[in-house]
Structure formats: C-alpha cells, structure tokens
Amino acid sequence: MYAAQQLYYNGRVQEATSGKIFTTVDPATAKPIAEVHAASERDIDSAIASAQAAFPSWSQTPPLVRSRILLKAVSLLRERNDEIAKVETHDTGKPFSETSTVDVVTGADVLEYFANLVASGGLNGETTQLRPDAWIYTKKEALGVCVGIGAWNYPIQIALWKSAPCLAAGNCMIYKPSEVTPLHGQILAKIYAEAGVPPGVFNIIHGDGAVGGYLTKHPGISKVSFTGQVSTGQKVAASAAGGMKYVTMELGGKSPLIILPDTELENAVDGAMMANFFSTGQVCTNGTRVFVPRSMKSAFEKRLVEKMEYIRSLEPMDPNSNFGPLVSETHYKKVLSYMQHGVEVDKASLLYGGYSKPKAIPRGYEQGFWVQPTVFTNCTDSMKITTEEIFGPVLCILPYKTIPEAIERANKSKLGLAAGVFGKDLNQCHEVISKLQAGITWVNTWGESPAEMSVGGWKQSGVGVENGRRGLNAWVREKSTLVEGGGAVGTVFAKL
C-alpha cells in the first residue's frame, strides 16, 4: 500500500476537506493500493488562490531562470526514473519494461525541450517595420492560472506534457490526475518543488468529473488543457467556452493504418502489432483499423497469428513482460463487451484471442483485469468494432482492393487523431498520407511521439496541439504594439 494521497498546493501537501475518499487499485491484482482524498470546492478555490498569488512573480521570472529550474526537475525525473516507473506500473498495470523506458522518459524529454526552447528565444515575438519611422512589435505573454486534466493511460507523461510548456511559458497550473491513476501527482509536485519551482506554481487536485467540472468553469482559470474521451471533451470545451477560456483538447481516435501492396510482410505485421498491442491497446493513437490488400490478406493473417505468440503477460515487474492487464474493472468490462459484440452482433471473424479469460495469467494475479490480445478479420466499415474507440487490444483487419478505396474508407470516420501507411515506395506513401484526414501521421513506423513533434487530432479528436514549437504557442497570448516614431501625432482634428 502507498500512503494516502492528499492535495498539493501553495508549495505543500494539504489535507482535503470534502470528506470524500476513494481508492486506487492495482489492475494486475485488483487490490487497493492507496486511499485518495478528493478536493472540496473550498480546497479548489484555495489552490487557485495560491496559483494566482504565485503568477505575477513566476510570469516575470526571466525565461532563462525558469528554464534552469525546470532543467533541475528533468535531472530529478531521470535520476528517479525506475522508482517512478514502479509506481506507474502499480497504478496502471503496465509492464515495468514499458513504464521504465517510455512513461517517465518521454515526459522528462518534453520538459527538457520546453525549458530549452524558452531559454533560447522561444517566447520572442516579431518586429515589423511598417514605415521608416513606425514599427510593430509583438510579445508572447503568459495566460495566467491554467488547468490540466489528465487521462489514465500515460499518467505522469500527460502531466508533464501539459505542465512543461505551461510552466516554461510563465503560467501556473492546477493539475487534476485521472481518479483511476492518481499516484504520480504528489511525486511530480514534490520534484518540481525540490527543483525550485515556487509555491503555488504547480498544484495537484484530486477527484472525479465533478472536481474537473468545477475547475473548468472557475472564473479564476484562463485555460483548460484536457486529455480524455471525446464525450468528456465536449463537456469540458462547452464549459470552458462559457468563460471564453483557451482550450486544448486531446481526445480519442479510431485511427487507420494502411498497408500498401509492396510492404514487406514482416514490417506490415510488426507495424500492425505495435499499433494495436502496445500498452495493452490503451493508446489514443492506436491504428485499430488495419487496411490490408486482399492479395496479402492470407499471408498477413498467417504471420500475424504466429507473432501473436510473442505477446507475453508475465508479472508486471518481470523485464520480459510486454503485455499487462487493462487499467480498471470498468474499462475491462467495456473492452470485453466490445469483443463480445464483435463476435455475436458484428459477426466479424475472430482470428485470435476473444473475450474468454486468458490462460496465461501470471500466478497470484488471477483477480486482475487481464484480457487476451484479440484480432478480428473480414471486418467491414459499418461494424461497431470498426467505428467506435475500444481503447483495448483489439485489432480489426479490413481487406481492400484498390488504394483509393482504402483511403476513402480510412477517412470515413468522425475521428481524425492519427493515421499511418506502410510501403516500400516512399513517394506513394507520401501521396497516401497527404490524403488522410488526421493530425498525427506516420510512414513505416507507428506510435513514436517525440518532444519535437507537434501532436493533435483533427475532426472530433481534438483542438490544438501539444509538443513541438507550436505546443508552446498554446500557452501564451500575443500582444501587438504599433509604435509611431515620427514625432507629430497624425490627426484629422487639427483645424476647422
């Protein structure tokens, strides 16, 4: 068991006053691992007040000085990588082989990127010479107190992807972790404090959707950056719009992966597996609709089934484990119901896995939320399993005849988060990518999302981007100033 999780604001741990306590569970065992104290509205008001008090000084701190502090936090994150990864494994169920190489690492990378960006002129504006004696200059200014609301699939990474550009740009943040995976909150707040981030600049508030809802409509908040489901994002954006708050929405997907006929079979299978089974399929950008040329279908299916045997559900801390349980009982039931629907109602052909209990659950972990990695084939575009986000390890093969047909079908979705193409002819790959309606795209690879790459969804998958240079602009507002240097003020009111 971990210590009870309280709130963190004004530079220290603070006791929640709502009296509401919930537990967080290790999904590998289904056993509770910590009690979490939810914030009351009074607690949230106090946290926001502490952030408002910190804002004038933090926003006026030179970017180079803010950068130095944030880079110290990067070092602390890297020094404690394995310790934090272990907590993330207990909280999310993801194998340690993943959390120790991806979750903390990609979060620290983004913090380093934004710290370096603001230290090297990333917040500079533009100057324009309008006339010989008149200039326009622009400035990028911090927004104020911002809210970050996270999903449960990459807890500390999401907290860092939001807080890094937010703090680097001079804002303060109230961060609400998902109630399903809250353990990283205190850890990150304490690391920021140890690095020298002043009290009130980064704060943690725990609670469910009601706490999130109170935060998004609070008049003291300038921006809401949200990661989660489309349906929740719609509520959050609507609530923020009432106060004309800036928003960034990182939402769900149902992304297409197109395998072109000239793709090497091994690459096609490896790409499709990475796009579906990493993190037990709980990745927003997963390529769950796999378009396979009819000519390649049987060879692809044969090799895929062989390689499915390389998926190993071992004890989560075992370095050889590469497939954990699903994150919670609620999510487990949701994913199983989609698998069942695929078999019984959609009538897709079940090629591998299914909704029965997996045989290979590690000893002592039988009560956890383990599922079988599952492949459906002969899928069609109108099935529920090919239209709705499952957010689990369910790969759907959609056979196609011509490339234009595959592109058209790939775009037939309300969502537009990610898309990808595999093929030998790079010109053809670029042409296909240019026609796909998605904000994040890959050629001959899947899933890598480095700090340098701006990522954000099209259509209902989101608003705005995170990371890359454009990611910083999401945390500032611009001021334009016209300066007249000509002496006399131009006026039409000088004489009768």
Among 212, 354, 420, 423, which residue interacts with ligand NAD (rule: CB under 6 A)? 212
- Min dist CB 421 to ligand NAD, Å, is 20
Q: In what order do the strands lie in the sheet with 374-377?
A: 349-352, 374-377, 394-400, 289-293, 256-259, 418-422, 440-443
Q: What does the alpha-carbon distance between residue 304 and residue 443 come to, in Å, rounded to a whole number?
A: 20
Q: Which stretch binds ligand NAD (CB under 6 A): 102-110, 121-129, 187-195, 224-232?
A: 224-232
Select 67 or 92, whichever has its Cβ closest to ligand NAD. 92
Q: Which stretch binds ligand NAD (CB under 6 A): 54-62, 92-100, 231-239, 345-353?
A: 231-239
Among 18, 50, 171, 178, which residue interacts with ligand NAD (rule: CB under 6 A)? 178
- Give the angle 311-312-317 at the CA atoms, nearest 5°: 135
- Min dist CB 96 to ligand NAD, Å, is 20
Q: Can you spell out the DSSP letters for 240-257?
A: HHHTT-EEEEE-----EE
Kindly name the residue from 250, 301, 389, 466 that is annotated as catalytic. Answer: 250
Neighbours of 120 (CB within 10 A): 12
Select 26 or 389, whichever has its Cβ closest to ligand NAD. 389
Q: Can you spell out the DSSP letters for 352-367?
A: E--SSPPS-PPTT-TT
Residue 150 lies near ligand NAD (rule: CB under 6 A): yes
- Min dist CB 175 to ligand NAD, Å, is 10
CA-wise closest residue to 143 among 172, 164, 115:
172
Neighbours of 18 (CB within 10 A): 18
Number of residues that bind ligand NAD (CB under 6 A): 29
Residue 208 lies near ligand NAD (rule: CB under 6 A): yes
DSSP class of residue 224 equals E
Task: Show Cβ contacts of residue 150 under 8 Å, excluding neighbours closer than 6 positions.
Answer: 158, 159, 162, 175, 176, 177, 178, 227, 228
Among 36, 74, 118, 151, which residue interacts with ligand NAD (rule: CB under 6 A)? 151
Select 7 or 417, whichever has its Cβ closest to ligand NAD. 417
Residues 358-397 that bind ligand NAD (CB under 6 A): 389, 391
Q: Residue 37 pairs with which residues in a beta bridge?
A: 21
Residue 227 lies near ligand NAD (rule: CB under 6 A): yes
DSSP class of residue 379 equals -
Residue 176 lies near ligand NAD (rule: CB under 6 A): yes
Among 213, 220, 243, 261, which residue interacts with ligand NAD (rule: CB under 6 A)? 213
Mapped onto helix, strand or coil, the DSSP state of residue 316 is coil
Among 103, 179, 301, 346, which residue interacts with ligand NAD (rule: CB under 6 A)? 179
Strands 415-416 and 458-459: antiparallel
Q: What does the alpha-carbon distance between residue 413 and residue 69 come to, in Å, rounded to a whole number?
A: 43
Select 221 or 311, whichever has its Cβ closest to ligand NAD. 221
**Mask for 282-301, x = binds ligand NAD (CB under 6 A):** --x-----------------
Residue 102 lies near ligand NAD (rule: CB under 6 A): no
CA atoms within 13 A on the CB side of 3: 7
CA-wise closest residue to 48 among 187, 125, 144, 163:
144
Active site residue 250: yes
- Min dist CB 459 to ligand NAD, Å, is 12
Select 63 or 150, whichever has its Cβ closest to ligand NAD. 150
Residues 410-469 that bind ligand NAD (CB under 6 A): 417, 457, 462
Select 344 or 448, whichever has its Cβ closest to ligand NAD. 448
Select 38 or 339, whichever has its Cβ closest to ligand NAD. 38
Q: What does the alpha-carbon distance between residue 273 and residue 351 come to, in Å, rounded to a whole number?
A: 14
Among 252, 353, 373, 393, which residue interacts with ligand NAD (rule: CB under 6 A)? 252
Select 106 or 227, whichever has its Cβ closest to ligand NAD. 227
Select 159 or 187, whichever has its Cβ closest to ligand NAD. 159
Computed over its alpha carbons, how large is the radius of gyration of the chain? 24
Closest residue to ligand NAD, based on beta-carbon distance? 212
CA atoms within 13 A on the CB side of 92: 29
Using CA atoms, how far residue 23 sits from 102, 108, 215, 282, in Å, is 26, 28, 22, 21
- Min dist CB 257 to ligand NAD, Å, is 16
Residue 107 lies near ligand NAD (rule: CB under 6 A): no
Among 52, 61, 81, 229, which residue interacts with ligand NAD (rule: CB under 6 A)? 229
Q: Which stretch binds ligand NAD (CB under 6 A): 52-60, 67-75, 78-86, 175-183?
A: 175-183
Separation of first and last alpha carbons in the chain: 84
Q: What does the alpha-carbon distance between residue 481 and residue 479 come to, in Å, rounded to a whole number?
A: 7
Q: Which stretch binds ligand NAD (CB under 6 A): 49-57, 245-253, 334-342, 469-477?
A: 245-253
Residue 53 exposed, middle or buried by CB count within 10 Å (0-12, 13-18, 19+): middle
The residues annotated with a catalytic role in the active site are: 250
Q: Interface residues with ligand NAD (CB under 6 A)?
A: 149-153, 176, 178-179, 208-209, 212-213, 216, 227-229, 232, 235-236, 250-253, 284, 389, 391, 417, 457, 462
